[in-house]
Chain A
């Protein structure tokens, strides 16, 4: 399915194919009590029309990564390092990390080129504005249309995401809709301006099982029709198996392993990824959602372990090494890479160095 690469440095043709590339992103929160390194060196790469899944336990920085891309990290959070390269519709590649988060440039991208839907549909719609006015707002901001046209398009979008009686529902308030319908409305808003990239931050976590499946199908259908890329954040490896082209596994603000979906599911290398995979129930995983039962707990964000951040919980812990050496990112062939000392060999240079050249 994936073309094999010998080097991560992409050739010209592949470069044109690449929509989003996040390099060594670091987003820290400067709280009174200390610095929370919520995202501490994340790499992502997403091609046009593909779906990239980000998985990891609660608190590992998935949402913060997503928000960093759109530059809507809440204060006291700040991007302190890294690049977020995004290829705009006009063909220019821009670094979102360098933009002024309140500036005109990023605002044109938000909603226009990159849209986002959030974890909780209950609270991501304004309680005192109609659904229609919120869709129209997005349309009027990014498309050169009149109010009437915007309203028409809003109704069309509601219809597209499968909301019945779309014309009437334009004037409904969010509290009049069910959770699933709200998430559909959110998707309608997000896709109203035909973005190139949809970031979906656990869009189904707060919904019941049947609705989850429906929403997932909806996103997949819409993606097929429009050819947009999707950055999908989830807890649920079952969902990943279903929709992902590429997978990034995160732990404590790092991408510990990434690669195409087959290599992650069948040739998982990192002890954390393997533990995650083992914790999936054998039968249909979506019916039986539960938290990963990896031993121990995610450490408090203030006391990150030294060396490999996973070492206190790792079964393959190498004494005197894992607690000292921060494992570099290691290419294994293809797009498959891992951060673990088990795979650090002398002849293969760490990827990070290679990337900087």
Chain B
């Protein structure tokens, strides 16, 4: 443009035309890049994204990361408090790098016969990374006995976050619970998304009576108190069902009520997209309706939908946790964070073993991470908006 004035007019016009064309192409090609740039500026969301990714990694490789399997117990070590890892050890030669934990001695109160643990600094259990331990089968395929972290010597009682009333390692169980809890959110939101996109899409695209009907349904569903409903419905799941079926029943229940938010979002997007030039152009060109929806409208909503999905997952995780906590969601032997928190159902058990709340910490961090991530994604989903 700067040198435009020195050129003959005809030349300039064609020059401008090509320039405009290439400009639009660049803009279209770079939509995802723009989102990424904008997202990257959002430091907190970047960090939250890393945390979320970490959680899903843990879920994927739970057997490898956890020191023990979910069911491993040790009757001599019930309610063992968490052990702090000492990185260095003092020897005659001075300090040396030697990660380890101290052992515990059991003391029995002579009067009440209550057992308490006292730290025994003379007993040292070395701790290491990539140690050998129990054998496990990852995803039912790979057999290994390597664990990311654990007792350097197989069999030493190393329980970094302590144990529960059966002497099971709280850390390992929480790690195994990650898989179920995080996936319930994902599967539940997947189902909700399916319902939401289909119904919301129909509603927003066709409008009229269909829209009205679906909107009324959504309104009705939204005015219901979800948790009592969930409680009622999930209490009806037969006790005899195998865990996998219970798992799916619960996720279906969660998504049956949870789809409304996504449907609303999708409908709103559809409504605003419907009048956009390229959709109208496609319709004028005689493109089939379904094809318009799939080829033109769905892709341009993707970024928003990803953001909404990210924001919907935490709700599912919280709901599963709450139901399982009450004993009407998932049931042992399945381990989820909610199931684990059942162990901490009353003040008395928390007072004896506050570390039983550790899965709760996992819930909070996971939910927090996904909320921040979703928030950043939502901001970035509109790359042209400041």
Residue of A nearest to B13 (CB): A295
Classify chain B: how many residues form its interface, as a range. under 10
Q: Which of A64-72, A115-123, A186-194, A312-320 contacts B (4 or more CB under 8 A)?
A: A312-320
In the complex, chain A residues whose CB is within 8 Å of the CB of B4: 295-296, 312-313
Q: 8 A-B Cβ contacts within 8 A?
A: A295-B5, A305-B2, A312-B1, A312-B2, A312-B4, A313-B5, A314-B5, A317-B5
State the Cβ distance, A74 to closest chain B Cβ, in Å.
14
Residue of B nearest to A316 (CB): B5
State the Cβ distance, B386 to closest chain A Cβ, in Å.
9
Residue of A nearest to B12 (CB): A295
* A297 contacts chain B at the CB level, 8 A cutoff: yes
Query: In the complex, what distance in Å separates the CA atom of A297 from the CA atom of B19?
Result: 14
Query: In the complex, what distance in Å separates the CA atom of A314 from the CA atom of B12?
Result: 15
Query: In the complex, what distance in Å separates the CA atom of A296 from the CA atom of B16?
Result: 9
Of all A-B residue pairs in the complex, the 3 with the closest CB atoms, nearest first, are A312-B2, A296-B1, A296-B4
In the complex, chain A residues whose CB is within 8 Å of the CB of B2: 305, 312
A315 adjacent to B5 (CB under 8 Å): yes
Query: Other CB < 8 Å A-B pairs besides A295-B12, A296-B5, A315-B5, 6 of them?
Result: A295-B4, A295-B5, A312-B1, A312-B5, A314-B5, A317-B5
Query: In the complex, what distance in Å separates the CA atom of A296 from the CA atom of B4?
Result: 8
A residues 285-316 near B (Cβ < 8 Å) are: 295-297, 305, 312-315
In the complex, chain A residues whose CB is within 8 Å of the CB of B5: 295-296, 312-315, 317
In the complex, chain B residues whose CB is within 8 Å of the CB of A297: 1
Query: In the complex, what distance in Å separates the CA atom of A312 from the CA atom of B3?
Result: 7
Query: In the complex, what distance in Å separates the CA atom of A131 from the CA atom of B1?
Result: 48
Scan A96-108; emit 1 where CB is below 8 A from any B CB, else 0: 0000000000000
* B4, B5, B12, most chain A CB atoms within 10 A: B5
For the complex, count residues of A whose C-beta is within 8 A of B: 9
Per DSSP, are chain B's interface residues mostly helix, strand or loop, or mixed? helix
Residue of B nearest to A297 (CB): B1
A interface with B by C-beta (< 8 Å): 295-297, 305, 312-315, 317
Query: In the complex, what distance in Å separates the CA atom of A315 from the CA atom of B8?
Result: 12
B interface with A by C-beta (< 8 Å): 1-2, 4-5, 12
State the Cβ distance, A310 to closest chain B Cβ, in Å.
11
State the Cβ distance, A300 to closest chain B Cβ, in Å.
11
Query: In the complex, what distance in Å separates the CA atom of A296 from the CA atom of B2?
Result: 9
In the complex, chain A residues whose CB is within 8 Å of the CB of B1: 296-297, 312
Query: In the complex, what distance in Å separates the CA atom of A183 from the CA atom of B380?
Result: 37
In the complex, chain B residues whose CB is within 8 Å of the CB of A317: 5
State the Cβ distance, A150 to closest chain B Cβ, in Å.
41
Query: In the complex, what distance in Å separates the CA atom of A305 from the CA atom of B3?
Result: 12
Residue of A nearest to B4 (CB): A296
Query: In the complex, what distance in Å separates the CA atom of A206 from the CA atom of B367?
Result: 47
State the Cβ distance, B37 to closest chain A Cβ, in Å.
13
Residue of A nearest to B41 (CB): A32
In the complex, chain B residues whose CB is within 8 Å of the CB of A315: 5
State the Cβ distance, B330 to closest chain A Cβ, in Å.
47
In the complex, chain B residues whose CB is within 8 Å of the CB of A313: 4-5
Query: In the complex, what distance in Å separates the CA atom of A312 from the CA atom of B7?
Result: 12
In the complex, chain A residues whose CB is within 8 Å of the CB of B12: 295
Query: In the complex, what distance in Å separates the CA atom of A314 from the CA atom of B2?
Result: 10
State the Cβ distance, A4 to closest chain B Cβ, in Å.
36
Residue of A nearest to B2 (CB): A312
Query: In the complex, what distance in Å separates the CA atom of A305 from the CA atom of B5?
Result: 14
State the Cβ distance, B239 to closest chain A Cβ, in Å.
55
In the complex, chain B residues whose CB is within 8 Å of the CB of A296: 1, 4-5
* A295, A305, A314, most chain B CB atoms within 10 A: A295
Query: In the complex, what distance in Å separates the CA atom of A313 from the CA atom of B5?
Result: 6
Query: In the complex, what distance in Å separates the CA atom of A305 from the CA atom of B12?
Result: 20
Query: In the complex, what distance in Å separates the CA atom of A315 from the CA atom of B1?
Result: 13
In the complex, chain B residues whose CB is within 8 Å of the CB of A305: 2
Query: In the complex, what distance in Å separates the CA atom of A305 from the CA atom of B2?
Result: 9
Query: In the complex, what distance in Å separates the CA atom of A297 from the CA atom of B2?
Result: 10
State the Cβ distance, B379 to closest chain A Cβ, in Å.
14
In the complex, chain B residues whose CB is within 8 Å of the CB of A314: 5
Query: In the complex, what distance in Å separates the CA atom of A315 from the CA atom of B5?
Result: 7
Query: In the complex, what distance in Å separates the CA atom of A305 from the CA atom of B4?
Result: 14
Query: In the complex, what distance in Å separates the CA atom of A314 from the CA atom of B1?
Result: 12
Query: In the complex, what distance in Å separates the CA atom of A290 from the CA atom of B4?
Result: 23
State the Cβ distance, B27 to closest chain A Cβ, in Å.
15
Query: In the complex, what distance in Å separates the CA atom of A295 from the CA atom of B8?
Result: 12
Residue of A nearest to B6 (CB): A317
State the Cβ distance, B371 to closest chain A Cβ, in Å.
25
Query: In the complex, what distance in Å separates the CA atom of A102 from the CA atom of B151?
Result: 67
State the Cβ distance, B9 to closest chain A Cβ, in Å.
8
Query: In the complex, what distance in Å separates the CA atom of A51 from the CA atom of B2?
Result: 36
Query: In the complex, what distance in Å separates the CA atom of A313 from the CA atom of B12?
Result: 13
Query: In the complex, what distance in Å separates the CA atom of A317 from the CA atom of B4?
Result: 12
Query: In the complex, what distance in Å separates the CA atom of A39 from the CA atom of B2?
Result: 22
State the Cβ distance, B14 to closest chain A Cβ, in Å.
14
State the Cβ distance, A302 to closest chain B Cβ, in Å.
14
Query: In the complex, what distance in Å separates the CA atom of A312 from the CA atom of B2?
Result: 5
Query: In the complex, what distance in Å separates the CA atom of A79 from the CA atom of B70?
Result: 66
State the Cβ distance, B1 to closest chain A Cβ, in Å.
6
State the Cβ distance, A75 to closest chain B Cβ, in Å.
15
State the Cβ distance, B314 to closest chain A Cβ, in Å.
30
State the Cβ distance, A30 to closest chain B Cβ, in Å.
15
State the Cβ distance, A49 to closest chain B Cβ, in Å.
42
* B2, B4, B12, most chain A CB atoms within 10 A: B2
Residue of B nearest to A323 (CB): B2
Query: In the complex, what distance in Å separates the CA atom of A21 from the CA atom of B303?
Result: 51
Query: In the complex, what distance in Å separates the CA atom of A295 from the CA atom of B4?
Result: 9
In the complex, chain B residues whose CB is within 8 Å of the CB of A312: 1-2, 4-5
Query: In the complex, what distance in Å separates the CA atom of A312 from the CA atom of B1?
Result: 8
Residue of B nearest to A319 (CB): B6
Query: In the complex, what distance in Å separates the CA atom of A297 from the CA atom of B16?
Result: 11
Query: In the complex, what distance in Å separates the CA atom of A312 from the CA atom of B6?
Result: 10
State the Cβ distance, B12 to closest chain A Cβ, in Å.
8
Query: In the complex, what distance in Å separates the CA atom of A296 from the CA atom of B15?
Result: 12
Query: In the complex, what distance in Å separates the CA atom of A297 from the CA atom of B12?
Result: 13
